[in-house]
C-alpha cells in the first residue's frame, strides 16, 4: 500500500518535471525565434512567436495546479517538497521569458518599413546569442540536476549585464548622431532590455537548480553588473 502511494507520487513528480523541461524547450524556441525575426525582419515569424506564447502561459498554470494538488494529496517529505517548489519557480521564470520574447516579436511588427541599418541590430543579436546559450545550459542543468552547470550560469550573468550597459550607451549615441535612428533604436533598447531580463530569469533558474541540488540558497549577492539604469550619456558637444 505504501509502495503504491510512493510510486504514484513518483509518477506525479516525474510528470511535473517533464512538463517543466517541455516548457523550457518552448520558451527557448520563442526567444530564438523572436531574435531571428528581429534580425531578419521576418514579420511572419514574429506573428508565430506572439501566438505560441499562449501555450507557454497555459503550461505554467498546469504545472502550478499539478504541483499544488500533488503537495495536498501526497504530503511529501522535505526533499520532495523542494522538487515541487522548484518546478513551480522555474515555470514562473519560463512564463516570464515567454512574455519577454513576445514583446520583442511585437516590436518587430512595429519596425516594418523603418530605416533599419543592420549595424544597429548586430549588438542585440550578439547579446542574445550569449543569453540563449545561458538559457540552454541552465535548462540542461535542471534536466540533469547538475549543480556545477547551474553555478556556471549564475556566475556568467555579469557578462550579459556588461554587454547590455555598453549596448545601451551605443544605441543612445546612434540616436544622438542621427534622429532618423530614434524610433528604431528605442525599440532596440527595449528588445535589448527584454533579452537582458531573459538572462536574469536564466540566473533565477540557476539559483533554483542549486537549491534543488543542495537544499541551500545562494545567499551571496548575485554578481550584478548592469549599470545601464545608472547610465547617462552626455550630449556630444
Task: Give the binding site for a second copy (CB under 8 A).
Answer: 64, 68, 71-73, 75-76, 81, 84-85, 92, 103, 106-107, 109-111, 113-115, 172, 175-176, 179-180, 182-183, 186-187, 189-190, 193, 229-235
Sign of CA dihedral 52, 50, 126, 39: positive
Q: How far apart are CA 160 and CA 192, in angstroms?
A: 10
Question: Quick one: DSSP state of residue 216?
Answer: -
Of 101 and 149, nearer to a second copy (C-beta) is 101
Of 71 and 137, nearer to a second copy (C-beta) is 71
Minimum distance from CB of 190 to a second copy (Å)?
A: 7
Burial 2-27 (b: 16+ CB within 10 A, else e): eeeeeeebeebbeebbebbbebbebb
- Residue 36 CA, distance from chain mean position: 16
Of 47 and 137, nearer to a second copy (C-beta) is 47
Minimum distance from CB of 187 to a second copy (Å)?
A: 8
Minimum distance from CB of 74 to a second copy (Å)?
A: 9
Minimum distance from CB of 186 to a second copy (Å)?
A: 6
- Residue 237 CA, distance from chain mean position: 39
Minimum distance from CB of 113 to a second copy (Å)?
A: 8
Minimum distance from CB of 235 to a second copy (Å)?
A: 5
Of 56 and 189, nearer to a second copy (C-beta) is 189
Of 149 and 226, nearer to a second copy (C-beta) is 226
N-terminal to C-terminal alpha carbon distance within the chain: 80
Of 112 and 144, nearer to a second copy (C-beta) is 112
Q: How far apart are CA 217 and CA 149, in angstroms?
A: 16
Q: How far apart are CA 15 and CA 159, in angstroms?
A: 35
Nearest Cα residue to 116 out of 43, 47, 11, 16: 43
Amino acid at each position: 500500500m505504501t509502495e503504491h502511494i510512493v510510486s504514484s507520487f513518483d509518477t506525479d513528480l516525474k510528470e511535473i518535471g517533464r512538463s517543466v523541461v517541455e516548457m523550457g524547450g518552448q520558451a527557448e524556441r520563442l526567444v530564438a525565434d523572436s531574435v531571428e525575426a528581429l534580425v531578419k525582419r521576418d514579420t511572419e515569424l514574429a506573428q508565430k512567436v506572439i501566438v505560441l506564447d499562449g501555450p507557454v502561459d497555459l503550461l505554467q498554470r498546469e504545472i502550478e495546479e499539478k504541483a499544488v494538488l500533488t503537495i495536498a494529496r501526497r504530503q511529501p517529505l522535505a526533499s520532495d517538497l523542494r522538487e515541487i517548489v522548484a518546478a513551480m519557480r522555474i515555470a514562473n521564470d519560463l512564463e516570464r521569458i515567454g512574455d519577454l520574447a513576445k514583446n520583442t516579436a511585437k516590436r518587430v511588427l512595429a519596425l516594418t518599413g523603418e530605416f533599419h541599418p543592420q549595424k544597429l541590430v548586430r549588438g542585440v543579436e550578439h547579446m542574445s546569442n550569449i543569453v540563449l546559450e545561458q538559457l540552454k545550459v541552465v535548462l540542461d542543468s535542471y534536466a540533469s540536476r547538475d549543480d556545477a552547470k547551474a553555478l556556471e550560469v549564475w556566475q556568467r550573468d555579469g557578462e550579459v549585464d556588461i554587454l547590455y550597459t555598453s549596448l545601451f550607451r551605443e544605441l543612445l549615441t546612434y540616436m544622438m548622431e542621427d534622429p532618423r535612428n530614434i524610433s528604431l533604436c528605442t525599440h532596440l533598447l527595449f528588445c535589448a532590455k527584454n533579452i537582458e531580463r531573459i538572462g536574469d530569469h536564466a540566473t533565477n533558474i540557476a539559483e533554483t537548480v542549486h537549491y534543488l541540488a543542495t537544499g541551500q540558497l545562494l545567499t551571496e549577492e548575485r554578481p550584478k553588473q548592469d549599470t545601464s539604469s545608472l547610465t547617462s550619456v552626455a550630449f556630444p558637444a
